[in-house]
Chain A
Amino acid sequence: MKYIEPHAHMVSRVTDDYQRMALAGCEAICEPAFWAGFDRSSPAGFYDYFCQLTEHEPKRAAKFGIAHFSWLCINPKEAEDVEFAKDVIALIPQFINRSNVLGIGEIGLNKNSRNEMKVLEMHVDLAARYNQLILVHTPHLEDKLKGTRLILDVMKSDKRIKPERVIIDHVEEHTVKLVLDRGHWAGMTLYPETKCTPARAIDILDTYGHERLWMNSACDWGISDPLAVPKTALEMKRRGHRAAAIERVIFHNPRKFLAQSPKFKLPAA
């Protein structure tokens, strides 16, 4: 069964994962810029990272017939230092026209601080000025509900932003309706312990329908599963979902959102 992995941090994964994902039917991987598990000491660290996302990683994926796309930003976990963030954001325009860059992401909030809000607004402004899609990270655990509300207000207050060009990721039962009601896309992250399990993600689909929803593994350097999307597809099958409905969620929905960028093209069949 073909699928798109719309959120994976492949720089943190071994090559075997590309092979396993290809075997499972993965046609494209989208990789948002994120926190490396430690703070970079200079903007030059981000320059190298953006090169990795736009030059090196697509080549690794291509060896397995998988298209690789990326999103650029300074992630919210490193956004407390606003001056540092400004320097990193200033690097992004020189990468934005690269062939695999889909937009600005994963921006958002982590601890819902004032400085994180400032940096979020700077990213949203950048996306608006360069007419880019936006991928938003919502905070973890107890911070998610408040952070999601704050993020939604930032999006609403910038009149240049079209809701349908923004995906708000890592939604759970208490935030998914807030996101969909504002006209945005919502991403469900299948992640052990935090975020959604396959069963809960399917519950959300059963409750809210299949419109403007996608699923991703967000596999990274933590305990996570690059095959979480196809495993959830299997769970959908066990629960009686039809093949067309499964394919819609794991392939057609992400393709519909991502194809709003003219750069999103899948390998020829």
Chain B
Amino acid sequence: MTREQVLDLYFLDARGKLIEIAAFLDRVERATGKEDFRAKAFRKAVRELGGKKPQRAEKVLRVLSDPTTKPIPAATTKAACGAWPRPT
């Protein structure tokens, strides 16, 4: 596909999602209380979108991933939350 064809097919959809992200970040900022590791991870992932570097989707996924390599001692929940709570 040409770049123009890709834009014809996906620009409006991506534009809508981009505005949703902007509005989400505004919403988090307007809210009260402390933000947690998810917001920090999100902002770090957003930075991967800038510039002309390729493989942005892969980089965003990696930023949001647990980078450790050993199994955890026990599963205390079944759910995933979408970002890794980096130990402080």
Kindly list chain B residues whose C-beta atoms are within 8 Å of the C-beta of A140. Answer: 80
Contact among B69, B73, B81 for A146, CB-based, below 8 A = B69
Count class of interface residues, chain A:
20 to 34
Judged by DSSP, the binding face of A is: helix
B71 near A77 with CB under 8 A, answer: no
Q: In the assembly, what is the distance between CA of A146 and CA of B74, in Å?
A: 15
A17 at the interface (CB under 8 A from B): no
Contact among B10, B55, B61, B71 for A172, CB-based, below 8 A = B61
Q: Which residue of A lies closest to B82 (CB)?
A: A141
Taking Cβ atoms with an 8 Å cutoff, the residues of B that contact A are: 1, 5, 9-10, 55, 57-58, 61-62, 64-69, 71-78, 80-84
Contact among A113, A141, A239 for B72, CB-based, below 8 A = A113
A80 at the interface (CB under 8 A from B): yes
A145 near B61 with CB under 8 A, answer: yes
A200 at the interface (CB under 8 A from B): yes
Q: Which residue of B lies closest to A204 (CB)?
A: B57
**Quick one: which of A114, A140, A146 has the most chain B CB within 10 A?**
A146
B10 near A113 with CB under 8 A, answer: no
A255 at the interface (CB under 8 A from B): no
- With A238-B9, A239-B1 as contacts: A115 and B58 at CB distance below 8 Å: no
